[in-house]
């Protein structure tokens, strides 16, 4: 089974698997690239929005920042989608899978703590009348589904990676049996 953006396995690569399977790329390099693009896009969008109007510039900066964030997210996703994917050896893939499983467990625990903290912030600040209290409540309310989506995506990536390793092992076994 060939995934878009992945080089097919050639005859001399029976013991390799894609470094990142087809579902979602949650590698540190990709996360840092997308985070830097999101921060840059929201900063540029906020500055453009702030400069476009003299009437309520803070709202224009907020709207510009949101538009910049959305555009930067799409642009960085397109860039990452077009980059070629690396392939790693089967042994390195098994080691990486173990690290990913440990990371998934830590991520789940951190996500639960983050969701509890966000819910506590929303509860504590919901009755206050102020711009900062509102901003913190909105940010916390956005972090909860974002955290859930990140954890779900990471768990799916671990499953896809495990499936890719099993397929590579099956290819290796088939080639071994054919050579006999």
Asked if residue 103 and residue 58 are part of one domain, the reply reads no
**In a shared domain, residues 170 and 94:** yes
Closest CA to 51 of 64, 39, 41, 42: 64
Q: Is residue 107 domain-shared with residue 61, that is, in the same domain?
A: no
Residue 94 and residue 73 share a domain: no
Q: Residue 3: pLDDT band by 50, 70, 90 thresholds?
A: very low
* 39 part of a folded domain: yes
Say whether both 122 and 45 belong to one domain.
no
Residue 71, pLDDT score: 92
Res. 59: pLDDT tops 90: no
Enclosing domain of residue 31? 19-87
Mean pLDDT (the chain, rounded)? 80
**Whether 92 and 80 share a structural domain:** no
pLDDT at 12: 47
Which has more confidence, 88 or 111? Answer: 111
Within this chain, do residues 104 and 148 fall inside the same structural domain, yes or no?
Answer: yes
**pLDDT at 43 (0 to 100):** 92
Same domain for 79 and 155: no
């Amino acid at each position: 089974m060939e995934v878009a953006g992945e080089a097919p396995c050639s005859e001399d690569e029976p013991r390799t698997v894609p470094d990142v399977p087809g579902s979602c790329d949650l590698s540190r390099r990709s996360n840092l690239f997308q985070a830097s693009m999101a921060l840059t896009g929201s900063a540029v969008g906020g500055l453009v929005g702030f400069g476009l109007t003299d009437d309520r510039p803070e709202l224009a900066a907020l709207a510009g920042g949101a538009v910049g964030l959305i555009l930067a997210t799409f642009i960085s996703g397109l860039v990452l989608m077009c980059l070629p994917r690396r392939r790693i050896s089967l042994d390195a893939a098994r080691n990486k899978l173990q690290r990913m499983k440990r990371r998934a467990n830590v991520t789940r625990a951190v996500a639960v703590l983050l969701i509890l903290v966000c819910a506590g912030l929303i509860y504590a600040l919901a009755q206050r009348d102020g711009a900062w209290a509102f901003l913190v409540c909105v940010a916390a309310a956005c972090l909860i589904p974002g955290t859930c989506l990140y954890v779900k995506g990471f768990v799916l990536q671990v499953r896809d990676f495990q499936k890719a390793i099993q397929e590579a092992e099956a290819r290796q076994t088939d080639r071994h049996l054919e050579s006999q």
